[in-house]
Amino acid sequence: MDAAIESQNQAILARRQKALLEREGIEQGDFVIRHDGTICRVAHNWGDLVQLTGSRYSGSFYLGEYGVVEYSGGLEPGVSADLIEETFDFMEGDCWFFSQDIPRGGNAHYTRAQFKVFRLK
């Protein structure tokens, strides 16, 4: 890949990573440790319910501006948000955004970012 494009993509990732870590509470893309020790990710936060993915590798997570994460993939039934607590740890997770912020087919820049870790109580 062209060094100038890679430099642009790294700058985009740095901005979005900063915003991602500034989010409050549990949000899409964050990790959740289940009672059996398996790890999954947050697909959607409905406020009172949090829908999880089947595993930590399920689906696709688009990392947008301002730390907004969009999920595409299968969903598990919702878990009460009251049953989830923050661990104050972080874990690296797969995500993507459009290379150079140019939205078009075949222009995904696949990368990894740090996400918060939660656990089921």
What was the pLDDT predicted at 56?
83
* Mean per-residue pLDDT pooled into runs of 10, the chain (121 residues): 90 96 95 96 95 89 95 92 97 96 94 97 95
Tokens of 118: 């939660």
> Which residues lie below 8 Å from residue 118, measured CB to CB, with a gap of 6+?
26, 30, 31, 32, 33, 42, 84, 85, 86, 87
Q: What is the pLDDT of residue 1?
A: 63
Cβ atoms 71, 84 nearer than 8 A: no
Residues pairing with 4 in the sheet = none
pLDDT for the residue 104: 94
pTM (2 d.p.): 0.93
How far apart, in whole angstroms, are the C-alpha atoms of residue 4 and residue 22? 28
